[in-house]
Amino acid sequence: MRVVVAPDKFEGSLSAGQAAAAIEAGLRRARPDAEVVRLPLGDGGAGTLEALVASGFERVPVTATGPTGEPVAAAIAVDGPRAFVEMAEASGLKRLPGGRRAPLEATTYGTGELLAAALDHGAREIVLGIGGSATTDGGAGMAAALGARLLDQAGAGLPPGGAALLRLARIDVSGLDPRLAEVRVTVASDVDNPLTGPEGAAHVYGPQKGAGPDDVLLLDSALRRYARVLADDLGRDVAAIPGAGAAGGLGAGAIAFLGAELRTGIELVLELVGFEEAVDGADLVVTGEGKLDAQSLRGKAPVGVARAAAAHGVPVVAVAGVVEVADRELRAAGFEEAHALLELEPDPRRSMAEAAPLLERLAERVGRAWASLP
């Protein structure tokens, strides 16, 4: 019996790597002869770096600039010529000192430093995972870290943050790192918001980053000006591109300065970990996450796994802390069945606290139920 174990993290309880280890242990109790391939996953957002390291990527420490200027101990993940950069490592909400939000001044400069570190390690293909950002600067800070100059009317460089873009007059990319021209950059993002407007970065995500109503209007105006200058000076009209508003407009900056393509996060991660090769010839795939719900069905990691496995005709079983999807919807999404930790421990707090042993027991049940496989 050959089983591919490919879970996402169980939010608040287990990393993807810990979840995969627990599932494998349970399966082996049921089928000691099973060949188990562990592929911890993420959807491109926070936690994906850790999952890729657990899948075999090398963790490379990088000291980077945090969203409000303080140095932070971050990392990138490297596998030969491929690298994964998680913007939240340097520019995420989790990096704000004391959690104090700075919606007008927060910068993606540190994300640019992480990209530079990937180039320093010889990366020829970079996946930039965006999500959990503290910033609404359109990726201007990232561009500055990579050598671009964002200038006001007097030719002076702009200070960090999205608010400063109101004074943007010109962008000089003559000093942009030339290695970027030789590298393929892909952005892992699952949102389709444009850069500006009522569905744009400032209006939809600004309040999550501490922006009040006046701040939102200011930031949206600043991003509109930014988009005009990008179109005039770089010939990149990014304002209305779906996904340009992701991570405070970092999607737009990645398109304009890095020539990046935007793709669904889980699809990219599955490619990075070699899921297609692993599932070929497998008898079963076990995936999961903390909560399997309606949001999951919109393309989060377990559904991405189910779709990819279906192409190979391999059945997929999901395990989760909580399952809030009806059986008919599960089957339509490609799952044979789904099981929740709450089946074993109905108290949600205890279920989260004891997630690893409960997940192991649940996986043992799955292994026994599918024991008739070769």
Mean predicted confidence (pLDDT) in 342-367: 96
| Top CATH class, 2-39+274-369 | alpha beta
**Fold adopted by 48-265:** Glycerate kinase, domain 2 (3.90.1510)
**Nearest Cα to 42, choosing from 339, 304, 254?**
304
**Model confidence over 27-79: pLDDT tens digits?**
999 999 999 999 999 988 888 999 999 999 999 999 999 999 999 999 999 99
**Model confidence over 150-204: pLDDT tens digits?**
999 999 999 999 999 999 999 999 999 999 999 999 999 888 999 999 999 999 9
Domain boundaries, the chain: 2-39+274-369, 48-265
pTM of the model: 0.92
Residue 317 is predicted with a pLDDT of 98
